[in-house]
């Protein structure tokens, strides 16, 4: 029997993850069964279980795949020279998140909320997310340092504190967009700029 190519293997993993994300949004993480995902994927049970032997492993893969994919898209914004202004950075990052998470038949922003909830009971998932978010916050602190060197922000507030506030804005965008649906990057950038520029 011929071996499956790496490209075909990656395509099957993606097919299973797409089915899982769709089921997770429709039914929630706990109500979704492996049978639901198998049916939605169009693959055999053996094929699905050969890639993801349990729902927990599939949930972990769904989270890490989405976080890794989004991180790769945001990294060029973080590395831009010269760095974008704080309000423009928020605009660019939230637009990137919106574009990455809007999928055909489901929205990864809504699934992110399910993942955050699941992380409260799943220690391994929480530690995985913690690693991603700590690394991202560290990159935000580096960016704040670049802003400081460029004279875009003051020096009175520690860089880590500013990074935490910036991360709250970005994760808050995910929550508001998933639940309220009436927020976009331009609105957040405008609001952030309003705090930075008090009127006379």
68: pLDDT strictly greater than 70: yes
Contacts of 12 (CB under 8 A, 6+ apart): 4, 43, 47, 51
**pLDDT value, residue 148:** 92
The pLDDT tens digits for 148-173 are: 998 888 888 899 999 999 999 999 99
Mean pLDDT throughout 53-80? 95
| Domains recognised in the chain with CATH numbers | 1-53 (1.10.10.60), 60-196 (1.10.357.10)
Question: In whole angstroms, what is the distance from residue 139 CA to residue 43 CA?
Answer: 39
Whole-structure pTM value: 0.90
Q: Read off the DSSP letter of residue 154.
A: -
Q: What is the pLDDT of residue 196?
A: 67
Backbone angles phi, psi at 103, to 5 degrees: -115, 165
Whether 199 has a pLDDT exceeding 80, the answer reads: no
What percent of the chain clears pLDDT 90, i.e. is strictly above it?
80
């Amino acid at each position: 029997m011929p071996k499956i190519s790496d490209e075909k293997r990656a395509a099957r993993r993606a097919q299973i993850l797409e089915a899982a994300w769709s089921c997770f949004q429709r039914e929630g993480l706990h109500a979704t069964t492996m049978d639901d995902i198998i049916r939605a994927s169009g693959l055999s049970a053996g094929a699905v279980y050969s890639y993801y032997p349990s729902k927990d492993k599939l949930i972990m893969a769904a989270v890490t795949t989405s976080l890794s994919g989004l991180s790769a898209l945001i990294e060029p914004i973080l590395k831009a020279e010269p760095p974008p202004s704080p309000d423009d950075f928020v605009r660019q990052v939230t637009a990137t998140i919106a574009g990455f998470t809007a999928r055909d038949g489901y929205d990864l922003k809504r699934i992110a909320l399910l993942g955050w909830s699941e992380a409260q009971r799943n220690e391994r998932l929480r530690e995985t997310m913690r690693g991603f978010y700590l690394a991202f916050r560290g990159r935000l602190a580096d960016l704040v340092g670049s802003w400081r060197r460029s004279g875009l922000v003051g020096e009175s507030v520690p860089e880590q504190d500013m990074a935490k506030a910036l991360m709250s804005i970005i994760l808050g965008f995910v929550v508001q967009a998933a639940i309220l649906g009436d927020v976009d990057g331009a609105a957040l950038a405008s609001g952030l700029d309003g705090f930075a520029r008090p009127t006379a």
